[in-house]
């Protein structure tokens, strides 16, 4: 193995071929299912983006109706999932723990006689996650869960199950734009996790469960809640530059900035900030203005400190601003990322299975090789 190159973080390793999305990190461009991001995100409903990723083309109107109808019966949670979510909500666990439970328990919703079947499991996982997250949220707030409605689409159902109120068209479109923007993004950590799991010929529900675990970390999906906390703290403090400099001086990373692949502003930031702006009219506009000021100040402050390493806004910064505008609680930002990305995870699973080879890289051994056993009483 000595001729293999050790690449921590696998930054320079090509580990899959995919037709799902491609990123140009130098130009700041993202193409999903063949569409430039802005084209897809401003037009597609989540179901259309999902169909596109799973089938490599857009559905006809009839196919779309059928696709929506086939997702619908998988939305309702099993009694077992509900009981587990009730317990996790009572314990005060975080929403990503609830989402992981929702993912793992998705097998309970596929029916007792059913064998795992990749596409059906993908459908079940996609349909179950929003219900699980919304149910957890209601229970965490001492409220009873709200069942999904047959007449509402995926995005609208999620908002409805959170509040019990039918969302406005603007809220639904705002959420659709978010869900379509983050649905897939190359071989990110959670997607890679899903592909590794399914490559062992495990099942899609297991792959989604592992992917939720990978998404939970703040270096991946866990940043947008802290971004909003940061914006609130800066609003209280009053001086963005001083606040941001203090954080960096104490060795902290600024949430919502920097990216493994992008060397320029993440193209998703432009799409999300454009979608967010409409929610910040009149007295709310001060918040949007603050976000823009914090962005430009942070980019300047980071440029001073990390000369040579371009650190710009990533997807999470305007995710926080948009989801706040749509009315998603900040505690659910990371879980809502999962509600979208499950579309990409499942599409990657299906793609991996088309031409599978178990993912099994090598490691370089740096441990001892010549130890002699010492009996426990002599150690
Ligand atoms: N604030 C302060 N310094 C930073 C930041 C940041 N947000 N991001 C990177 N740096 C520094 C880092 O400390 C390092 O400095 P040094 O060489 O002096 O140690 C230098 O910039 C290079 O960073 P890196 O560690 O090579 O970057 P990476 O590719 O390993 O990490 C990242 C990418 C996203 C994990 C990182 O930028 C980060 O921690 N950002 C904050 C958390 C965040 O916003 N996460 C959401 C990621 S986007 C969602 C997704 O696509 O999953």
Q: Provide the pLDDT for residue 221.
A: 85
Q: Provide the pLDDT for residue 240.
A: 96
Q: 318 in a domain, yes or no?
A: yes
Whose alpha carbon is nearest atom 36 of ligand 1? Answer: 258
Q: 78 in a domain, yes or no?
A: no
pTM: 0.94
Q: 294 in a domain, yes or no?
A: yes
What are the pLDDT digits (tens) for 163-200?
999 999 999 999 999 999 999 999 999 999 999 999 99
Q: How many CB atoms lie within 10 A of CB 255?
A: 23
Whose alpha carbon is nearest atom 9 of ligand 1? Answer: 258
Ligand 1 atom at shortest distance from the alpha carbon of 220? 52
pLDDT band at 235 (very low <50, low <70, confident <90, very high): very high
Q: Provide the pLDDT for residue 225.
A: 87
Q: 45 in a domain, yes or no?
A: no
The H-assigned helical ranges of 92-203 are 95-104, 118-140, 154-163, 169-181, 189-199
Q: How many domains does the chain have?
A: 1
Q: Provide the pLDDT for residue 239.
A: 95
Give percent of the chain above pLDDT 70.
98
Q: Provide the pLDDT for residue 112.
A: 66
Which tokens go with 1? 């193995």
Whose alpha carbon is nearest atom 31 of ligand 1? Answer: 260
268 lines ligand 1 (CB under 6 A): no
Whose alpha carbon is nearest atom 39 of ligand 1? Answer: 219
On the question of pLDDT at 114 being above 90, the answer is no
- Report the distance separating Cα 31 and Cα 186, nearest Å: 10
Q: Which domain holds residue 322?
A: 224-326
pLDDT band at 116 (very low <50, low <70, confident <90, very high): confident
Q: How many CB atoms lie within 10 A of CB 308?
A: 5
316 lines ligand 1 (CB under 6 A): yes
Which tokens go with 285? 């506009």
Q: 365 in a domain, yes or no?
A: no
For residue 257, the CA-to-ligand 1 centroid distance in Å is 7
The residue to mutate among 184, 251, 258, 338, having the most atoms of ligand 1 within 8 angstroms of its beta carbon, is: 258
254 lines ligand 1 (CB under 6 A): yes
Task: Check which CATH number belongs to the domain holding 269 and give it.
Answer: 1.10.230.10
- Report the distance separating Cα 266 and Cα 202, nearest Å: 34
For residue 231, the CA-to-ligand 1 centroid distance in Å is 19
Compute CA distances 341 → 143, 178, 199, 212, 335, whole Å. 27, 11, 19, 9, 10
What are the pLDDT digits (tens) for 267-323?
999 999 999 999 999 888 999 999 999 999 999 999 998 877 889 999 999 999 999
Q: Provide the pLDDT for residue 3.
A: 82
Residues 33-39, mean pLDDT to the nearest whole number: 98
Residues 7-16, mean pLDDT to the nearest whole number: 92
- Report the distance separating Cα 277 and Cα 273, nearest Å: 6
258 lines ligand 1 (CB under 6 A): yes
Judge whether 12 counts as a catalytic residue. no
309 lines ligand 1 (CB under 6 A): yes
* Strands 29-32 vs 21-24: parallel, antiparallel or unpaired: antiparallel
Q: Which position among 259, 312, 348, 351 bears the catalytic label?
A: 259
- Report the distance separating Cα 96 and Cα 107, nearest Å: 18
Q: Are the CB atoms for 76 and 147 separated by under 8 Å?
A: yes
Q: Provide the pLDDT for residue 223.
A: 80
Q: Are the CB atoms for 255 and 16 separated by under 8 Å?
A: no
186 lines ligand 1 (CB under 6 A): no
Q: 257 in a domain, yes or no?
A: yes
Q: Provide the pLDDT for residue 224.
A: 82
How much is the mean pLDDT over the chain? 95
Q: Which position among 99, 316, 348, 351 bears the catalytic label?
A: 316
Q: 312 in a domain, yes or no?
A: yes
Provide the ipTM.
0.95
What are the pLDDT digits (tens) for 74-105?
999 999 999 999 999 999 999 999 999 999 99
Judge whether 115 counts as a catalytic residue. no
- Report the distance separating Cα 3 and Cα 362, nearest Å: 12
Give percent of the chain above pLDDT 90.
90
Q: Are the CB atoms for 106 and 125 separated by under 8 Å?
A: yes
On the question of pLDDT at 219 being above 90, the answer is no
CA dihedral over 344, 346, 348, 351, signed as positive or negative: negative
Q: 38 in a domain, yes or no?
A: no
Q: Look at residue 116 and give its three-state secondary structure.
A: coil
Q: Provide the pLDDT for residue 218.
A: 82
Q: Provide the pLDDT for residue 149.
A: 96
Q: How many CB atoms lie within 10 A of CB 199?
A: 18
- Report the distance separating Cα 157 and Cα 166, nearest Å: 8
For residue 258, the CA-to-ligand 1 centroid distance in Å is 5
The residue to mutate among 243, 246, 253, 269, having the most atoms of ligand 1 within 8 angstroms of its beta carbon, is: 253
216 lines ligand 1 (CB under 6 A): no
Ligand 1 atom at shortest distance from the alpha carbon of 11? 29
For residue 244, the CA-to-ligand 1 centroid distance in Å is 15
């Amino acid at each position: 193995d000595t001729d293999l190159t050790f690449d921590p973080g696998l930054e320079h390793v090509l580990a899959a071929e995919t037709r799902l999305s491609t990123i140009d990190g130098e130009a700041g461009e993202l193409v999903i299912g063949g569409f430039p991001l802005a084209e897809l995100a401003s037009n597609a409903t989540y179901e259309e983006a999902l169909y596109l990723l799973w089938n490599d083309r857009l559905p006809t109107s009839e196919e779309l109706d059928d696709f929506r109808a086939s997702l619908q019966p998988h939305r309702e949670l099993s009694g077992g999932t509900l009981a587990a979510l009730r317990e996790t909500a009572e314990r005060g666990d975080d929403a990503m723990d609830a989402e992981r439970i929702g993912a793992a328990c998705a097998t309970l919703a596929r029916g007792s006689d059913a064998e795992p079947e990749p596409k059906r499991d993908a459908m079940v996982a996609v349909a179950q996650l929003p219900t699980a997250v919304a149910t957890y949220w209601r229970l965490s707030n001492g409220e009873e869960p709200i069942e999904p409605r047959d007449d509402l689409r995926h995005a609208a159902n999620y908002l409805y199950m959170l509040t019990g109120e039918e969302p406005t068209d603007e809220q639904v479109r705002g959420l659709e734009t978010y869900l379509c923007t983050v649905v897939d993004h190359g071989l990110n950590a959670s997607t890679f996790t899903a592909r590794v799991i399914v490559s062992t010929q495990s099942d899609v529900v297991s792959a989604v469960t592992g992917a939720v675990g990978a998404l939970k970390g703040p270096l991946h999906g866990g940043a947008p809640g802290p971004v909003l906390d940061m914006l609130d703290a800066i609003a209280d403090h009053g001086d963005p530059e001083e606040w941001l400099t203090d954080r960096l001086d104490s060795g902290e990373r600024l949430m919502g900035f920097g990216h493994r692949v992008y060397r320029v502003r993440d193209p998703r930031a432009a799409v999300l900030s454009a979608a967010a702006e409409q929610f910040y009219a009149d007295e709310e506009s001060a918040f949007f203005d603050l976000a823009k000021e914090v962005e430009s100040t942070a980019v300047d402050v980071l440029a001073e400190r990390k000369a040579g390493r371009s650190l710009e806004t990533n997807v999470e910064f305007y995710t926080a601003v948009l989801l706040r505008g749509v009315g998603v609680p900040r505690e659910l930002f990371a879980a809502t990322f999962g509600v979208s990305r499950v579309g990409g995870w499942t599409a990657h699973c299906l793609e991996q299975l088309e031409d599978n080879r178990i993912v099994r890289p090598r490691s370089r051994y740096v441990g001892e090789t010549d130890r002699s056993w010492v009996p426990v009483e002599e150690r």
